[in-house]
Amino acid sequence: MGKKLYTKENISKAETEWLGIPELVVLKTNRDDVGLEVVHRRYFEDEKLLCPACRSSRTRCSKIVDRKLKDLLWLDEDHKTFQIISLLFHQRYMRCDNCGQSVFPEPTEFGEKGCKFTNRLSDALADGTFQFSYKKVCQHYGVPASTASVGEVMRRRIQCRESLLPPVRTPHIISIVEVLFFGEFYPAVLGIWDDEVYCLDILRDSSEETCGAFLKTLDANQVETIYVDPVDSLFSAVNQYFPMASIVVTDEAIKRYARNAMLDIIHSDGKRFPVVHKDRRLTVLHKDLDDRTVVPRIKEGMKSRPRLQRAYNHHQRLLELMETKWSMEDLRTWADQIPTEVDEFLAVGDIIDIFGEQLSGFLTLGEKPPNNYQFAVQGICDAIKDMPHCIFDVMRGRCIFSITHDTMEENGELWRYGIKSSRLTEKINEISANIREERDYGYQ
């Protein structure tokens, strides 16, 4: 491009030191409308950038593109007072004379590609968004809350927090449970230690590839039993990585799938049903109702809803069966007797038919799930299902990287068990309340 626009005499040393971003230098300017004008330090050096395509050093500046960013300056050591400033970064684009085709921007480390925030502002926004709404955090810092930027903001911080976690200590018993979040299913990988349920991670999807990528980080020699939801891709993954383990479908999975089917029926046929908290009270055993005064109201509500009545009765029979020493023949009989018009339960019948071998394997297990297993799984599923809407990365970040993991030290090395289920559900519900009630973020 010929002669450079700026020389070292154009550098403002005081403002460069005040900005405190090692790779940037601030230019002297008389423009008040752009904040600080900055260039990369290598602008004033003889360093030749290598072409990313051919690795040649025969590169030259082809053009300069102005990139506007917001930046965060902390004004105290406690990071309680701050100042938001605007940067105008004159970013050079280089052309390679060796291959003749490559035009590339000079690499930077202070901000992610395409993001309108510097990394230190982005990290501050992400740290707040782990537990509060992105909108409220942006309001606190006085920057625009664009939904298009939340993914870029969160992924960088999630990678950072994930890299700081100790490795997982492989449990003898693993459970893979699909949790529902705004119409999509995500596998939650759970571990069981000393009759306690811990959450190890939540995966992006149920594909064999995604599940396998996590499972291969575990020690296959330590895994003895795996409880898996009746999903073909999950079974393929666990069979591949843990061929010697007992792989079973639990009674909890049957009851959870039946409960989900019952909820679908309640939502379609139970509109204006005369019972408060109908989702919970119509999906538990009749004898376990927490308020016996609702019994007459349930009977009254069922009179005008015959399909719901038949579904309720059949679901009750399954719950009663699961309270006994049931057999596969009992389950098949229940499935064969599913009322014709209640087709929501047919999926449960298919599970009993297709995964009969794995259900039979559960019956013959020497060590059954701990007493709190069903309560822990339902608590996790319900808490995640009730979270306010967000993209997967934010949901996973809030569940896995904003809550303390249980750890232990062995032979001088730190290992993690995961997040105890009771603490996980409590914190998820707290984060959901922060967002749903639009609680302000910031220092009081």
What are the tens digits of pLDDT across the range 203-240?
999 999 999 999 999 999 999 999 999 999 999 999 99
pLDDT tens by residue, 272-326: 999 999 999 999 998 888 787 889 999 999 999 999 999 999 999 999 999 999 9
The model's confidence at residue 410, banded by pLDDT at 50, 70 and 90, is: confident
The residues, any chain, with a CB within 8 Å of residue 387's CB and separated by 6 or more, are 181, 395, 398, 428, 431, 432
Element (H, E) at 400: helix 392-400
The sign one gets for the Cα dihedral 233, 237, 242, 244 is positive
Q: How far apart are CA 188 and CA 178, in angstroms?
A: 6
246-248 vs 225-228, strand pairing mode: parallel
The residues, any chain, with a CB within 8 Å of residue 199's CB and separated by 6 or more, are 188, 189, 190, 380, 399, 400, 418, 419, 421, 424
Mean pLDDT of the chain: 92
Domain residue limits, the chain: 1-110, 118-164, 165-249+366-431, 252-354
Structure tokens at 5: 């626009």
Element (H, E) at 277: none
The residues, any chain, with a CB within 8 Å of residue 115's CB and separated by 6 or more, are 69, 122, 149, 152, 153
Q: In which residue are the tokens 């979040």 written?
A: 181
pLDDT tens by residue, 38-92: 999 999 988 889 998 899 999 999 899 999 999 999 998 888 899 999 999 999 9
Question: If you write DSSP's letter for every residue of 48-66 in order, what string do you get?
Answer: PPPPTTT--S-EEEEEEEE
- Coil, strand or helix at 267: helix
Question: If you write DSSP's letter for every residue of 303-363 in order, what string do you get?
Answer: HT-HHHHHHHHHHHHHHHHHTS---HHHHHHHHHT--TT-GGGHHHHHHHHHTHHHHHHHH
What pLDDT was estimated at residue 1? 47
The pTM for the full model equals: 0.88
CB 85 within 8 A of CB 71: yes
- 33 has pLDDT over 70: no
Kindly calculate the radius of gyration of the chain based on its CA atoms and give it in whole angstroms.
29
State the SS3 of 93-160: EEEECCCCCCEEECCCCCCCCCCCECHHHHHHHHHHHCCCCHHHHHHHHCCCCCHHHHHHHHHHHHHH
The model's confidence at residue 99, banded by pLDDT at 50, 70 and 90, is: confident
What pLDDT was estimated at residue 146? 77
Q: How far apart are CA 281 and CA 296, in angstroms?
A: 13
What pLDDT was estimated at residue 29? 80
Element (H, E) at 279: helix 278-281
Q: What is the mean pLDDT of residues 326-338?
A: 97
Q: How far apart are CA 389 and CA 405, in angstroms?
A: 24
The residues, any chain, with a CB within 8 Å of residue 28's CB and separated by 6 or more, are 10, 11, 12
Amino acid, single-letter form, for residue 289:
L
Q: In which residue are the tokens 């449960």 written?
A: 348
Answer CATH for 165-249+366-431 from 2.60.120, 1.10.150, 3.30.420, 3.30.70? 3.30.420
The model's confidence at residue 112, banded by pLDDT at 50, 70 and 90, is: confident
Instruction: Please provide the distance, in angstroms rounded to a whole number, between the alpha carbons at the two ends of the chain.
Output: 52
Amino acid, single-letter form, for residue 417:
Y
Percent of the chain scoring above 70 in pLDDT: 98
Nearest Cα to Cα of residue 345 among 301, 313, 322: 313
